[in-house]
Structure 1
Amino acid sequence: MIVHEIISEGIKVDEQMQVAAIINKLSNSWKEFQKGLRHKQSELSIVNLMARLQIEEEARKQDKKNEALANNTHANDANSHQGNRNANGNGAKVNFLTSNDSAPKG
């Protein structure tokens, strides 16, 4: 918004300065991404920067979805294993006699 105000006053602002300002305003959670952008050899246009930011944001969303899915699957696996344990918690099979079964001999 500040750049638009400056431009509306007739002052020219270099595009690379705008790109650098946007990169510097990224939050701390984007620190590694910031470093990568700052060390690029070629100059970035604002359009290219916006495209890279959108791609990174989508990748982070997908990573969060995958992480949540993995955590949910892991929790479900732990619950299913826990449900297979007997009262002693050792996981040994417990056989219960039904009215149709005969008691073991001997």
Structure 2
Amino acid sequence: MFQVPLPASHAERSENFDGANFKRWQQKMLFYLTTLGLTRFLTEDAPPSSEESDKETLMAVDVWKNSDYLCRSYVLNSLPDVLFGVYWDMKSAKELWETLDWKYKTKNTGFGKFVVGRFLDYMMVDIKPLISQVHELLVLIQELLAKRMFINEAFQVVTMIEKLPHSWGDFRNCLTHKRKEIDTEALVEKLRIENDKRRSDKRSMKVGVKANVVDHGSSSKNKKKSGKNFKVGA
């Protein structure tokens, strides 16, 4: 015998879907419909019936249709007006749910391909701070992992090494030929230390050049003074 879903509190009502973060909205809507006892209508078709069906069967069909209508309405009411106008005429909760699932998961898959493309094309350059570029690459990796695209850590490490800028060629070769494998965290720390060392060397070089300029200037002045004194003495 078909059971009528029991009423539930609406305190856990799902947030409205704004066209983004579909997976999060879908999970919250599932939880909300579970509290209402309506999730079965997202996957079930109406029970079969005909003009010859007995009274009990017809009553069960009516109850099913009423509950399916409620389920479909809850999903529709969580959509913005522009999407409500597109999907309001879906015949059942199942049809509505499957259509949304196909539409927005396909869209998310496209976004995943976009992230893959960005990840493959990303190359670090010498004109930007290295560590900020490392962070950008790590964000891309996290976006791929969030899309359930498995990238093992060894691949992450090798990729980051290969994407180092041109001026890091010697350091890249040194890391590539190391026999001991390192994880992502250790690589980032090595890059940070090497980057700090290079910045310190540059500062030292600038100070040295500046000191040489000052010394050269002082020597020139001393020579001029010596020349003047010589003339006076003559």
Q: TM over 0.5: same fold? A: yes
Q: C-alpha separation between the residues in 1 aligned to 2:227 and 2:192? A: 52
Q: What is aligned with 1:39?
A: 177
Q: What is aligned with 2:165?
A: 27
Q: C-alpha separation between the residues in 2 aligned to 1:78 and 1:40? A: 45
Q: C-alpha separation between the residues in 2 aligned to 1:78 and 1:93? A: 19
Report the secondary structure of 1:29's partner residue: helix
Q: What is aligned with 1:103?
A: none
Task: State how 1:1-106 maps to structure 2 within 5 Å.
Answer: 1-86=139-224, 91-92=226-227, 94=229, 96=232
- 1:94 aligned partner, one-letter code: N
Structure 2 stretches lacking a partner, 5+ long: 1-138
State the superposition RMSD in angstroms.
Answer: 2.0
Structure 1 stretches lacking a partner, 5+ long: 98-106
Report the secondary structure of 2:229's partner residue: coil
- The CA deviation string for residues 31-77 of structure 1, in whole angstroms up to 9 with x for no partner, is 11100110111111000000000000100010001000100110011
Q: C-alpha separation between the residues in 2 aligned to 1:61 and 1:2? A: 26
- 1:59 aligned partner, one-letter code: K
Q: C-alpha separation between the residues in 2 aligned to 1:86 and 1:51? A: 53
TM-score, normalising length from structure 1?
0.79
Decide which structure has the larger Cα Rg and report it: 2
The runs of at least 4 aligned residues of structure 1 exceeding 6 Å deviation read none
Q: C-alpha separation between the residues in 2 aligned to 1:7 and 1:69? A: 45
